[in-house]
Amino acid sequence: MAQWVVVEEFEDRLRPIERFEGTVVEARRRLYETACTHKFSEGLQQRRREVFRVHDDMYFVEVKGGLGTYRLRYWLAERVWGTEAAS
């Protein structure tokens, strides 16, 4: 099985949200679920959320909170190489 990571991109910051093993179908489902539900800031009072598919492996998300609008991207990356054996 392939190894995957869901990455959150906000402004100039990249952050891995979760790592897991699975098929491409499972990985894309988890990416979609993350884009729809992930709370990127603990203190955020979300009022509205819109999710847009850029392509199968990336979503653009706009979250309206009490203090402003936040724009993020969630994308899926497959591990293709590493210096250590996959665990």
pTM: 0.90
How many separate domains does the chain show? 1
Q: Is pLDDT above 90 for 84?
A: no
Structural domain boundaries, residue 6: 2-78
Q: How far apart are CA 80 and CA 57, in angstroms?
A: 15
> What's the pLDDT tens digit per position in 14-73?
999 999 999 999 999 999 999 999 998 888 888 999 999 999 999 999 999 988 999 999
The closest alpha carbon to 79, from 2, 25, 17, 27, belongs to 2
The b-or-e profile of 17-37 (16+ CB within 10 A means b, else e) is eeeeeeeeeebeebbbebbee
Residue 8 counted as domain residue: yes
Residue 18 counted as domain residue: yes
pLDDT of residue 82: 93
